[in-house]
């Protein structure tokens, strides 16, 4: 199987793989934008308990969290043109990237919705009551009081979400998009130095996830600077209690557990 191991190839593959980093990051950025918009659309009916829409967003969440991203990619790629054809849209010539970003975006949207809901709920109820008491409209209360506070709570979950998305993009090659993993496979096949390519690939992913994590940690610190320094005590797992919920949320991996 392939030629013998030569560490030199790892270094010569790194710049070649980095050429396609832009494609990977484009998928991440595009899906993140789509995902956050979709997340808000799905989370709002659930937070405000709007009758029918709430049930629909429940189905959306269940489906996108209940099926593997790989299956979703194929479903979108093969299914969307067929579903939209009767409506007069011809997607048979649409770029693959569109399907990829849409699939990753809606997948991320399901996790983003839960993130938004959980962090908004973690903001103390008294904050909203005080906003109403001061005469704000519901929209003002949400945008001026709740969301800025929820943002700080959401960052650790968001960080996990982005890193999970980055790792998920390694599947886009199955639809023929030339991102980093696809490039690595091509390089491996060309040179027969598979192990070296995948080591180089893993290193790049590792560096990006590590950087993302550190950047978002700094963002979290900054967003939460209004908070009094809490003593980080070991907590019991009674999540229902208001006081502990907020702090506990940061420790829990809401969303994707393991995988891909």
Note the residues at the interface with other proteins (CB under 8 A). 1-2, 4-5, 62-63, 65-72, 74-75, 78-79, 82-83, 163, 167-168, 170-171, 181, 188, 194-195, 198-199, 201-202, 205-206, 209-210, 234-238, 251-253, 255-260
Q: Smallest gap, in angstroms, from Cβ of residue 1 to other proteins?
A: 6
229 in the Ramachandran plot: left (φ > 0), alpha (ψ -120 to 50) or beta? beta
Q: Smallest gap, in angstroms, from Cβ of residue 27 to other proteins?
A: 13
Which CB atom, from 8 or from 258, has the smaller least distance to other proteins?
Answer: 258
Q: Smallest gap, in angstroms, from Cβ of residue 37 to other proteins?
A: 23
Which CB atom, from 62 or from 137, has the smaller least distance to other proteins?
Answer: 62
The alpha-helical segments, DSSP class H, found in the chain are 7-18, 21-47, 51-66, 69-84, 96-122, 125-133, 138-140, 147-168, 180-191, 194-223, 242-251
Q: What sign does the CA torsion over 118, 123, 124, 125 have?
A: negative
Distance CA(104)–CA(119), nearest Å, equals 22
Q: Smallest gap, in angstroms, from Cβ of residue 172 to other proteins?
A: 11
Distance CA(111)–CA(256), nearest Å, equals 8
Distance CA(19)–CA(157), nearest Å, equals 30
Which CB atom, from 64 or from 153, has the smaller least distance to other proteins?
Answer: 64
Which CB atom, from 67 or from 143, has the smaller least distance to other proteins?
Answer: 67
Q: Smallest gap, in angstroms, from Cβ of residue 117 to other proteins?
A: 16
């Amino acid at each position: 199987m392939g030629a013998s191991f030569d560490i030199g190839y790892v270094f010569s593959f790194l710049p070649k793989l980095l050429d396609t980093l832009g494609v990977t990051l484009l998928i991440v950025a595009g899906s993140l934008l789509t995902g956050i918009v979709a997340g808000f659309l799905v989370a709002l009916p659930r937070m405000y308990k709007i009758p029918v829409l709430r049930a629909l967003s429940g189905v959306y969440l269940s489906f996108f969290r209940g099926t593997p991203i790989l299956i979703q990619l194929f479903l979108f790629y093969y299914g969307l043109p067929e579903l939209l054809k009767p409506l007069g849209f011809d997607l048979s010539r649409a770029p693959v990237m569109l399907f990829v970003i849409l699939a990753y975006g809606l997948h991320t949207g399901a996790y983003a919705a839960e993130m938004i809901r959980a962090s908004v709920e973690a903001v103390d109820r008294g904050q909203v009551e005080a906003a109403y008491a001061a005469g704000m409209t519901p929209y003002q209360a949400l945008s001026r009081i709740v969301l800025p506070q929820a943002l700080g709570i959401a960052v650790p979950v968001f960080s996990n979400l982005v890193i999970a998305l980055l790792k998920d993009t390694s599947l886009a090659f199955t639809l023929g998009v030339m991102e980093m993993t696809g490039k690595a496979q091509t390089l491996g096949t060309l040179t027969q130095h598979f192990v070296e390519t995948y080591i180089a690939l893993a290193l790049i992913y590792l560096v990006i996830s590590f950087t993302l994590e550190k950047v978002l940690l700094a963002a979290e610190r900054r967003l939460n600077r209004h908070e009094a320094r809490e003593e980080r005590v070991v907590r019991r797992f009674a999540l229902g209690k208001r006081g502990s919920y907020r702090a506990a949320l940061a420790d829990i991996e809401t969303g994707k557990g393991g995988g891909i």
